[in-house]
Structure 1
Amino acid sequence: MSTTSPSGVLATLTLNPALDLQTAVDAVEPENKLRCDAPRQDAGGGGVNVARVIRRLGGRAPCILPLGGPSGQSLQARLQAEGLEAVVVPIAGETRQSFTVFDRSRGAEFRFVLPGPKLGAGEVRALEAAVFGMAPRPDILVASGSLPGGMDPGRLTRLAVRLRRRGVRLALDASGAGLKAGLEAGVWLVKPNRKELGDCLGRDLIDRAAQLDAALALVAGGQAEWVALSLGAEGALLVGDGFAAYAPSLPITPVSTVGAGDSFMAGLVWELSRGSRPEAALATAVAAASATLLSPGSGMARRADIRRLRPQVRVEVLGPA
């Protein structure tokens, strides 16, 4: 079985962060002016959200990220307000915004995600230098979120290789070209959802057997030591060398789905970094994702909700894989 050992230093890398705005309207309709509630702002982007939840779990994970323009300044202020450490790489472009609108008439959430700035070659090199210049060096680096415009996915492959050579374990949550680039290099942990992994492999993962086989193939092929496969409302699989487990989702009516996957990653990595057994890590991951479903907008999981929901998660160990 894959094993873990306690490690002291976590960090996150967010290549395309966002200033998240949330509001609500009575109804989303064409043409009419939509009178919105007072907006809420949060620091966003995959790695940023992971760091936010790790802090709420009692851990520490500095954020490495590129920031530019007034949106970048606002995002950095939000990080400081939450007590998060940030290693900021200044960029010429404006940090993107994303916004979520809750339609009260439908009880539905509309999410608008803007593309973000393109990074120049020098800015990408500065980000890489920030990763390798961290002191103390992280034991685990969580790279989560989309690739910025102008970044060659091959750079992510080379980054993963350099990290492994330096003894840094890379936990990757990416899709499309980013996911393929990470798997090409081989990572410690990867967290795709069913569609992302199916698209990467070029086949539909229609049932549990196909999902398990796909995850096992990644582990056997050396592309990942751990595969955490998110199945949405059906739950999640966690597969390693000689280990496989499944946890169904909890029966929760979502207030918002923003950041649920990031919270899952946070709970999983935080537990594994502390030397917890993989089935315990999977339970905390599901509890953290479920807790985020109870938080409006991009408020993310509250520690009290994670602790309350954790005992309700049922993990089925599938035996030696």
Structure 2
Amino acid sequence: MKQIVTLTLAPTIDKSSSVEEIIPEHKLQCSEPKFEPGGGGINVSRGLKRLGLDSVAIYPSGGLTGQRLHQLLQQEGLEQHPIATRNLTRENFIVVSRKTNEQFRFGMPCPELLESEEEEILTTIRHMQPKPEYIVVSGRMPPGIKDDFIAEIARIAKEDRAKLIVDTSGEALRYAVEEGVYLLKPNQNELSKLTGKNISTIEDVKKAAEAIINKGKCEVIVVSLGGDGALLATRGFTEHIKAPPVEKRSTVGAGDSMVAGMVYGCEKKMDVRHMVRMGIACGSAATMNPGTELFKKENAERLYLQMIAEL
């Protein structure tokens, strides 16, 4: 039996709270804080769990915050494989003003991974048993990581005949695409940086995605367009898929929820049009919840059925 593996290179604990109003120089009384595991791949694993799919979350873990992250994932019933690191796992802080419903997000710096820690992550993925069917690399890259790190994972995926799904940015993304991936999920800005072109319209997005597909380095590209849905591109086919209208309360975790929905669609052998709609449904459902909360399964399923009824 094959499995789904997620990799998060910059995991975090998201600590969220609220205050009545944000006022400079005042002591602000916060509500009871909420602690949640965070980071791209970790959120993908959490989303898959909500959809009824198990996965193995691989992530670097250091110090007391790393231990706390491990505990939080245990509480959610996630299978995990932390890689011990010298540097502490980071924390982020989110605070909401109850008066205005504005959200303030404070992201702490990513700790650097040592070269030996990078190698241990690669070794762990290389020797996974059973071999993964899907490897999902999602989230930001930590400082100092080798540019070809994800490209090395792409080579491992080829050896294991696993499908690599990538949602990241920067030079690591460029190297990964050159090596070859199954599914790529950039946003419009990341696609612009990847291609070196100014991309401002849906037609620009379509042409850029088609150019990458035609090079034979990627089977499927899904460009996230925020409230405008996503642009799906595969060999000989493109489609702009609109997002369903929902009342948005927070966009935190929407992108990771979208990836989780697409991985679910892939595992359930949906065709690409249905798979992307499942992803958009999960991403849209996540925006319906406050703070850092991911999607609710019932909301995602309702939005998905609504979207496929329009096909």
For the criterion TM > 0.5, the same-fold answer is yes
Q: Structure 1 residues 311, 265: closer, same or farther in 2, change over 3 A?
A: same
Query: Are 2:204 and 1:189 equivalent residues in the alignment?
Result: no
Letter in 2 for 1:19: I
Compute the RMSD of aligned alpha carbons: 1.6
> Quick check: 108-117 or 52-61, which moved more?
108-117
| Secondary structure class of the residue paired with 1:215 | helix
Query: Could you say which residue in structure 2 is the equivalent of 1:159?
Result: 153
Runs of 4+ in 1 over 4 A off after TM superposition: 314-317
What letter corresponds to residue 149 of structure 1 in structure 2? P
- Report the Cα offset of residue 204 of structure 1: 2.2
Contact 1:246 1:316 survives alignment (8 Å): no
Larger RCO: Structure 1 or Structure 2 (Cα < 8 Å, ≥ 6 residues apart)? Answer: 1
Change (3 A) 1:311 1:158: same
Q: Does 1:18 align with 2:5?
A: no
CA distance in 1, matches of 2:30, 2:217: 46
Identity of aligned residues (%): 34
Structure 2 equivalent of residue 66 of structure 1: 60
CA distance in 2, matches of 1:263, 1:202: 28
Matched with 1:37 is 31
Are positions 1:100 and 2:94 aligned together? yes
Does 2:238 correspond to 1:244?
yes
Correspondence for 1:229 among 223, 226, 230: 223
Give the distance between the partners of 2:143 and 2:63, measured in 1 at CA: 17
1:172 and 2:166 correspond: yes
TM-score of the pair, normalised by structure 2: 0.95
Q: Which runs of 5+ in 2 are unaligned?
A: none
Counterpart position of 1:4: none
Give the match for residue 125 of structure 1: 119
Higher mean displacement: 247-256 or 283-292: 247-256
1:271-294 CA-to-partner distances (Å, cap 9, x unmatched) read 112211111111111110011112
Output one character per residue of 1:110-130: Cα deviation in whole Å (capped at 9) or x when no partner. Answer: 111112211111111111111
User: Is 1:285 the equivalent of 2:291?
Assistant: no
Shift of 1:62: 0.8
Given candidates 253, 257, 263, the residue that maps to 2:251 is 257
Cα separation, 2, equivalents of 1:276 and 1:86? 27
Q: For residue 316 of structure 1, report the CA deviation from its aligned partner.
A: 8.0
| 2:297 equivalent to 1:303 | yes
The answer for the alignment partner of 1:3 in structure 2 is: none
Alignment match, 1:276:
270
2:47 alignment partner, SS class = helix
What is the SS of the residue equivalent to 1:139?
Answer: strand
TM-fit CA distance, 1:313: 2.3
Q: Give the structure-1-normalised TM-score.
A: 0.93
Q: 2:213 aligns with which of 215, 219, 225?
A: 219
Displacement of 1:48 in angstroms is 0.3
Mapped contact 1:248–1:314 kept (Cα < 8 A)? no
Match of 2:260 among 244, 257, 266: 266
Gaps spanning 5+ residues in structure 1: where? Answer: 1-6
1:162 maps to amino acid? I
Whole-angstrom CA distance in 2 between matches of 1:154 and 1:230: 24
Quick check: 2:132–2:162 contact (8 Å CA) kept in 1?
Answer: yes
* Contact 1:245/1:316 (8 A) holds in 2: no
Give the deviation of 1:29 after TM superposition. 2.6
Alignment length (residue pairs)? 311
Correspondence for 1:145: 139
